[in-house]
Amino acid sequence: MSTPLNKRSDPRAHWFLVCLAAVLTCGGLFLNGYVHNVVGETRPPADDTGDSATLDRVRAGGPVVNMSGPRPEALRVARRTAALTFDDGPDPRWTPQVLDVLRRHGATATFFVVGAHVAENPDLVRRMVAQGNEIGDHTYTHADVTTAPGWRTRLELSLTQKALAGTAGIHTRLVRMPYSSSPEAVGDKQFAAMRLLASEGYLTVLTDLDSKDWSRPGVDQIVRASLPPRDTGAVIMFHDAGGDRSQTVAAVDRLLTTLDKRGYTATTLTRAAGLPSAHTPASTSDKWLGEALILLQRASSAFTGSLGWILAAAGLLTLLRLALFVVLAWVHARRAKRQRRRRDAGHRRGTTRWPAPPPVTVIVPAYNEEAGIEATVRSLVATDYPGHVEIIVVDDGSTDRTAEIAASLGLPGVRVIRRQNGGKPSALNTGIAQAAHDILIMVDGDTVFEPSTIGNLIQPLADPSVGAVSGNTKVGNRRGMIGRWQHIEYVIGFNLDRRAFDLLGCMATVPGAIGAFRRSALTSVGGVSLDTLAEDTDLTMAIRRAGWRVVYEEHARAWTEAPTSLGQLWRQRYRWCYGTLQAMWKHRGAVLERDPFGRRCLGYLTLFQVILPLLAPVVDIMAVYSLAVADPLPVVAVWAGFVTAQALSGWYALRLDGEPASVLWVLPLQQFVYRQLMYLVVIHSVATAVLGARLRWHTIRREGTFAPEPALPEVTTGR
């Protein structure tokens, strides 16, 4: 159907914004994964070996190594001097406790910090410096510099320096390689890394005594491993982050007491080795860059955390919706069965509300429907409804043979009205004005009815409070993958969603493919409005707000032709979604009305057809992110759980409709193409609406699924 609402092209600039948002999202996730040692996750390196005179010189030397000259120079700390060093911090729980212990004992230490932790805990770094402690570089993400490429090592060191500049206004000349220990363990790989570190201006710090506190062997064992023999000086390695460090805190307290009794001085590494301070002032530009880095890291962390909460909330809402709608569908099916039995009993007793079958007018708006109009009209004429049926085909300025084909059939009760193109709503209003009866049925020109459809569809109108009835639309061309996906969507949408909407009194749409209306209901809302591209949704909301009931009749089946390509599907759903947004905005005042319809209907549409689809890319991005940087099993398990839940609800919906469940094999594949297409349609539609553009009516190419024979696909009702 074509309408001249506006001839401007759809806006395209918003796709740049969508891509930019996707890039920023991926960038934020990558940065958060990187700084938390998830992207580029490092593991303890394999044994590092080597045999050379230079290595022997390093192994025989002290723990402070200067590799800037042609030959390595090693330094030891002074006698009766302990240089306590702490790796992997700062940690918001354990580092303050370590600092408290040092202050009580009047001691200072050297902290080899991880840059990412510095950005997360800037106050702790400032406290370290204020208490006279020393800072060293331990890379930004605890990366193994012996296996990392040179650019990665330089990046790790530089980022840490920027973080230190942004927090404490300093740089440091000390570095300790992650996973390093004593000089005796240095091999070829560590030696090469130390050369690279020296070229960047660093002194490499190893250790004399490794407390092995990371293994939590007990306080006594940590103290024994940390005590220097006799009166020698020592660089002692501890950890103030990376796990439970309660044993470390207790061991440091006891060790400092013991060292004090032995006449030791516990101080920073440079003081212990007789070197100038490791700290140098950072430039103003580095301070600004450091502050920007800290802000960016915190933003990425907050963003990732919020995405996690959004993902959890979206998943929970989706599961709750599925569970609720299955329960409501079950209740509706039982109620509908009871009502049908009472209706059949009334027919047998002759006590129905209608003493005789009321006459019905069927309106078929048609624009370029030559491929399927014959099948549509023939199926309407072939009805077994005992009352009089008038069929009006309104040709809305077709440029093909639609009108000629409909007129040439010569079928009884069929009238063809030709008019200039004005859009589907105008065509429907023309049909309504020309209709001879008060019960009106609207059907699209690509749809065919079963013989019993008309009779079943109008039955609920026997209740004078009912103003409109939604029928059960089914996909006729379901052989291809796209057709099967739409078939599942239609069955679930009609047999779960519309049943629930019927019970809750919040039916949003009587579909254009099949709907019955009371003329007085249409008159009360001024007919079909031209305000939106989803005239069926707009009309349904208006009728409901006017006080009429809108119900669903499952046995009134109509077979329609669904789009056969992704491009055609996009055009159709884009129009539907945009039109629904227009209708929601037009009827936004319903949320303030006494009738709960507006709050239920618009609340549901806003949450499940706008907000969650807009957030749906988060699910895919987070899933890919988790598969790439973490254990894939939880992601696969969650995905399998959702597919299973959807399959179970789909099976029940198919069972309610008497359809075979074998089609569910395509449901997992639906998650990889169809789902993405649907949420991109929502993004596109929302962007179009926000930008204030008016969308043209998108016509769909008809394939003539039901032509030339009007035979209907067989369906087993299971009843």
Chain segment 363-390, per-residue pLDDT in tens: 999 999 998 899 999 999 999 999 999 9
Q: Is the pLDDT of residue 360 over 90?
A: yes
CA distance linking residue 142 with residue 42, whole number of Å: 7
Contact assessment for residue 385 and residue 357, using Cβ atoms and an 8 Å cutoff: yes
Q: Is the pLDDT of residue 305 over 60?
A: yes
Q: What is the pLDDT of residue 7?
A: 41
What is the average per-residue pLDDT within 219-241? Answer: 94
Contact assessment for residue 17 and residue 282, using Cβ atoms and an 8 Å cutoff: no
Give CA separation, 119 vs 34, 35, 93, 163, 172, in Å: 13, 9, 15, 6, 16
Q: Which pLDDT band, with edges at 50, 70 and 90, does 1 fall under?
A: very low
Share of the chain above pLDDT 90, in %: 61
Positive or negative torsion for Cα 182, 184, 189, 194: positive
Share of the chain above pLDDT 70, in %: 89
Contact assessment for residue 567 and residue 712, using Cβ atoms and an 8 Å cutoff: no
Q: What is the pLDDT of residue 46?
A: 57
Q: Which pLDDT band, with edges at 50, 70 and 90, does 347 fall under?
A: low
User: For the ranges 15-29, 91-105, 124-138, 250-264, which has the lowest average pLDDT?
Assistant: 15-29
Start and end residues for every CATH 3.20.20.370 domain found in the chain: 53-289
Q: Which pLDDT band, with edges at 50, 70 and 90, does 700 fall under?
A: low
Structure letter (DSSP) for residue 378? H
Q: What is the pLDDT of residue 699?
A: 55
What is the average per-residue pLDDT within 568-582? Answer: 90
The predicted-structure confidence for 174-205, as pLDDT tens digits, reads as follows 999 999 888 888 888 888 899 999 999 999 99
CATH number of 53-289: 3.20.20.370
Q: Which pLDDT band, with edges at 50, 70 and 90, does 8 fall under?
A: very low
CA distance linking residue 615 with residue 605, whole number of Å: 14
Q: Is the pLDDT of residue 607 over 90?
A: yes
Provide the 3-class DSSP secondary structure of residue 557.
strand
Q: What is the pLDDT of residue 713?
A: 47
What is the side-by-side strand order in the sheet with 466-475? 414-419, 389-396, 360-366, 439-442, 515-518, 466-475, 549-560, 447-449
Q: Which pLDDT band, with edges at 50, 70 and 90, does 39 fall under?
A: very low
Structure letter (DSSP) for residue 593? S
Q: 170: which residues sit within 8 A by CB, 6+ positions away?
A: 129, 135, 164, 279, 280, 281, 282
User: For the ranges 56-70, 133-147, 445-459, 522-536, which has the lowest average pLDDT?
Assistant: 56-70
Q: Is the pLDDT of residue 636 over 90?
A: no
User: Which residues are the active-site residues?
Assistant: 87, 239
Please give, one letter per residue, the 3-state secondary structure of 157-217.
HHHHHHHHHHHHCEEECEECCCCCCCHHHCCHHHHHHHHHHHHCCCEEECCCEECCHHHCC
User: What is the average pLDDT score of the chain?
Assistant: 87
Q: What is the pLDDT of residue 512?
A: 92
Q: What is the pLDDT of residue 45?
A: 57
For the beta carbon of residue 344, count every other beta carbon within 10 angstroms. 11
pTM score above 0.85: no
The bridge status of strand 209-210 relative to strand 234-239 is parallel
What is the average per-residue pLDDT within 284-308? Answer: 90
Peptide bond into 90 cis (omega under 30): yes
Q: Is the pLDDT of residue 296 over 60?
A: yes
Q: What is the pLDDT of residue 707?
A: 55
Start and end residues for every CATH 3.90.550.10 domain found in the chain: 310-690
The predicted-structure confidence for 10-24, as pLDDT tens digits, reads as follows 555 566 766 777 777
Q: Which residue has the higher pLDDT, 716 or 606?
A: 606
Q: Which pLDDT band, with edges at 50, 70 and 90, does 412 fall under?
A: very high
C-alpha of 265 from chain center: 57
CATH number of 310-690: 3.90.550.10
Q: What is the pLDDT of residue 13?
A: 53
Name residue 447's beta-bridge partners: 560
Q: What is the pLDDT of residue 673?
A: 87
Provide the 3-class DSSP secondary structure of residue 513.
coil
CA distance linking residue 474 with residue 470, whole number of Å: 13
Q: Is the pLDDT of residue 358 over 90?
A: yes
Q: 96: which residues sit within 8 A by CB, 6+ positions away?
A: 124, 127
Q: What is the pLDDT of residue 68?
A: 85
